[in-house]
Amino acid sequence: MTTANQSLKPITTQINDDNHIEIGGCDLVELAQQYGTPLYVYDEKTIRTIAQQYKSAFSKYPKVSMLYASKAFMTKAVVRILDEEGFGFDMVSGGEIYTASTAGADMKKCLFNGNNKSYDELQMAVELGVGLISVDNFLELTLLNEVAKSNNKTVDILLRVTPGIECHTHEYIQTGHLDSKFGFDLTQTDEAVELIIDEYKNLNLVGLHAHIGSQIFETTIYYDEVDVLLKEMGRIKTKYGLNLTHINLGGGLGIKYTESDYPPSIDEIADKIITSIHDNAPKYNVELPEIHIEPGRSIIGTSGVTLYTVGSSKQVPNGKKYVAVDGGMADNPRPSLYQAVYTAEVANRPDDKATETVTIAGRFCESGDILIKDVKMPELKEGDILCFYNTGAYGYSMSSNYNRVLKPAAVLVNNSQSDIIINRESYENLVACDVIPERLKK
């Protein structure tokens, strides 16, 4: 069955009677006029549909926890939507923990992850009752035990391990191979387990955690990941008598950025994971574990688009034609950082025929600030509204104030209604944390 992560556009996308692109029943040209550009637009129906498709795909397995990978895009509104859909949250900072807590998430269903958590962040997680903490290294074992002891609590933990599985994706977003900054190498797990048993009495080890990368188009690596984790659980059970009951498989399922992308469906990866559990749990003499799945990009990426207004253009003699928009690498660093490729359409005249090849450039003072290279488009004019698809993940969450440009607003659309979920920054916001020392004041 096709699932929404395999779609190039939000599922409510259509062309209306004015020949404008419409999402969630809202005309994108009117949204640009009302809220300004750049503008992030999120389709609530797509978010909820993909969340429900994840739950449906794994429904044949009795013990599943769905955790939204907050790093992809997190606001209080997104927390509310996914909390309503029964998701917990995979969080990697105090800021994400605070956002989830203040938005009313069930903290017992959440997990705190990350490779260099601070003492204060661990303290916040324990005080707010985060259900699981995925421990990444030996220092964290020491810090977390101190925090748990000082709070007179026992904390349930996972050990994050590097399973030695390398997926075919960009090297910066591979996390499961052996040469990685994340997690314990499998040769280190004995030392970690022994410390927990012998010294860290306020830590309760319940399972293992691995993450093999992002924007994954393969399926067999999920089968292999389960195999590696269950084998390690069986070895720990035999050697130490510990019956671990949880495996966290991370997320990483790819989405469709261009017509040439063919990501697997959610059902395909669910089948691989569930089949591997049933094949390998008996082989390694472990009980069927509770599994945690951490989708982020595959839920929020397809759900979001970014709107830009076309500005200046430049025709290089005997060379490229550059068309500039009013955003770029500060609101979407992925093309510069990962060489990511996107699909764009002219929101105010989507039916116009593509007649020229252009390079869409950002407004920032870097030659590398290019959003799409050498793309066929209709002849673009000043004031046109461009819609970039599949920008819902890692746009706002990785955005910056480079060149002291204000961060864009974000709106949620549903049933012909639009609501602000992030206000556009003001110049007052921009300088609010600046301080002039007394000796420099006039």
* CA separation for the pair 254, 72 (Å, rounded): 13
Q: Which DSSP letter does residue 25 get?
A: T
**Domain identity same for 37 and 48:** no
Residues facing 160 on adjacent strands: 209
Q: Token pair for residue 127? A: 């005080």
Within-domain flag for 437:
no
Q: Token pair for residue 260? A: 């040439």
pLDDT bin (cut points 50, 70, 90) of residue 160 is very high
264 pLDDT more than 90: yes
The string of pLDDT tens digits covering residues 192-230 is 999 999 999 999 999 999 998 889 999 999 999 999 999
The amino acid at residue 420 is: I
* CA separation for the pair 132, 207 (Å, rounded): 10
Q: Any idea what the CATH number is for the domain that residue 415 is in?
A: 2.40.37.10
The string of pLDDT tens digits covering residues 57-72 is 999 999 999 999 999 9
Contact 46, 14 (CB under 8 A): no
Q: Is the peptide bond before 333 cis (omega within 30 degrees of 0)?
A: no
Contact 307, 347 (CB under 8 A): yes
Within-domain flag for 438:
no
* CA separation for the pair 29, 151 (Å, rounded): 53
**Domain identity same for 52 and 141:** yes
pLDDT bin (cut points 50, 70, 90) of residue 165 is confident
Last residue of a domain, one of 300, 329, 348: 300
**Domain identity same for 168 and 283:** yes
* CA separation for the pair 243, 359 (Å, rounded): 56
Region 89-109: what's the mean pLDDT? 98
Q: Any idea what the CATH number is for the domain that residue 178 is in?
A: 3.20.20.10
**Domain identity same for 38 and 68:** no
Within-domain flag for 223:
yes
Q: Which DSSP letter does residue 326 get?
A: S
The string of pLDDT tens digits covering residues 288-344 is 999 999 999 999 999 999 999 999 999 999 899 999 999 999 999 999 998 999 999
* CA of residue 10 relative to chain centroid, distance: 17
The string of pLDDT tens digits covering residues 399-419 is 999 999 999 999 999 999 999
Within-domain flag for 254:
yes
Q: What are phi and psi of 277, to 5 degrees?
A: -60, -50
pLDDT of residue 180: 67
Region 158-172: what's the mean pLDDT? 70
**Domain identity same for 10 and 115:** no
175 pLDDT more than 50: no
pLDDT of residue 182: 77
* CA separation for the pair 208, 123 (Å, rounded): 22
Last residue of a domain, one of 278, 300, 322: 300
Q: Which DSSP letter does residue 86 get?
A: T
Domain that holds residue 419: 4-42+304-431
pLDDT of residue 170: 38
* CA separation for the pair 52, 233 (Å, rounded): 30
Question: What is the SS3 assignment for 400?
Answer: coil
Within-domain flag for 319:
yes
* CA separation for the pair 306, 319 (Å, rounded): 28
Region 418-433: what's the mean pLDDT? 98
**Domain identity same for 59 and 11:** no
18 pLDDT more than 50: yes
First to last CA, the chain: 67
**Domain identity same for 272 and 334:** no
pLDDT of residue 172: 37
Q: Token pair for residue 56? A: 């449906």
Contact 401, 330 (CB under 8 A): yes
Q: What is the pTM of this model?
A: 0.94
pLDDT of residue 173: 37
| 3-state secondary structure labels for all residues of 33-53 | HHHCCCEEEEEHHHHHHHHHH
Within-domain flag for 366:
yes
174 pLDDT more than 50: no
**Domain identity same for 236 and 254:** yes
**Domain identity same for 151 and 265:** yes
Within-domain flag for 136:
yes
pLDDT of residue 279: 98
Average pLDDT, the chain: 95
32 pLDDT more than 90: yes
- Provide the domain count of the chain: 2
* CA separation for the pair 269, 263 (Å, rounded): 10
Last residue of a domain, one of 300, 320, 348: 300
Backbone torsion region of residue 289, taken as left when φ is above 0, otherwise alpha when ψ lies between -120 and 50, otherwise beta: beta
Buried/exposed code over 273-287 (b: 16+ C-beta within 10 A; e: otherwise): bbebbeebbeebebe
State the DSSP H helix or E strand holding residue 125, giving kind and residue range, or none if neither.
Answer: helix 119-127
The string of pLDDT tens digits covering residues 342-368 is 999 999 999 999 999 999 999 999 999
* CA separation for the pair 396, 380 (Å, rounded): 26
Active-site residues, by number, are 365
